[in-house]
Chains A and B, each alone.
Chain A
Amino acid sequence: MVDVVEGRRNWALGVGFLLALGALLCNLVFFVSPPGQRVIPWLSALLGAVALISIARGLWCAFAQPKVYRGRILNSLLSLVSLLLVAASMFAFFHARALPRSAGAPQVGQQAPDFMLADANVQPVSLTQLFAPAVDDPRAIPPKAVLLVFYRGYW
């Protein structure tokens, strides 16, 4: 009598793959900058961690019970892809957060250092001059405040 073992789907591996994909796709959400976006890096890390557990479980199933969870090559391939997805999302996580401490930057209540820099038309712009009343137009009201946005550049 032939011993027929019923095949089962490797749910753990499937879930692991979806979680790994989710962890990487979290990065797309940043493009819309939603409220509460600060939690997304940690959500991505959590999805990655659970993905790893699920993938490990899936691999164990595939190799410990090969007659039940058939397709060792396919399972191995799916695991590899999933692990690469997790690796990519973790690389993005650490790279995006590798920033200098900037302990010496002016804090609230401190003075912002003055400067003179060239604008896009190579005209000099100084922080103190910006707040000074305009010489040529006495009706012009100087700004009450200025928002300085330091950005990475190379866009």
Chain B
Amino acid sequence: MAISVDPPGVSRDLCKKAGYTFTVLSDPSADVIRRYDLLHVGGGPDGHDISRPAEFLVDSSRVVRWVNFTEDVRVRARADEMLAAARSLH
């Protein structure tokens, strides 16, 4: 599931353009982003508050089993790394 400050309209357009079939959630007030301590103050265009990039693999007990915090926004999570983490769950 993807989460950002983008409103549902923007997410819907993004999914249509990119052909995404997974769930994309909207957190426009960045409440959840703050709860996860991922707020990047003024990180967006025009100084908007956005989320910093981060990935969490959460199991059915809501326990985090894998995280990825990039130090550089240009270095994006690779699908094979995320799939390997998912497969390692028993």
Contacts and interface: CB of A to CB of B under 8 A. Distances in A.
B23 A125 contact: yes
Contacts, number: 185
Contact of B1 (A27, A109, A125): A125
B75 A152 contact: no
A153 B5 contact: yes
Interface of B: 1-6, 8, 10-12, 14-15, 23-27, 31-33, 35-41, 43-45, 48, 50-60, 62-67, 69-78, 82, 86, 89
Contacts of B64: 106-112
B35 to A, nearest CB: 5
Contact of B67 (A40, A96, A107, A143): A107
Overall SS of chain A's interface: loop
A104 B23 contact: no
Contact of B38 (A105, A111, A120, A145): A105
A150 B51 contact: yes
Contact of A110 (B32, B63, B78): B63
Contact of A112 (B23, B24, B58): B58
A102 B38 contact: yes
A41 to B, nearest CB: 5
Interface stretch (A16-24, A29-37, A78-86): A29-37
Contacts of B31: 115
A81 B17 CA distance: 37
Contact of B4 (A40, A102, A121, A150): A150
A103 to B, nearest CB: 7
Given A105-B38, A145-B58, A153-B50, 6 more contacts: A40-B74, A105-B69, A106-B64, A112-B36, A146-B57, A152-B44
Contacts of B71: 97, 99
B57 A147 contact: yes
B25 A117 contact: yes
A97 B69 CA distance: 12
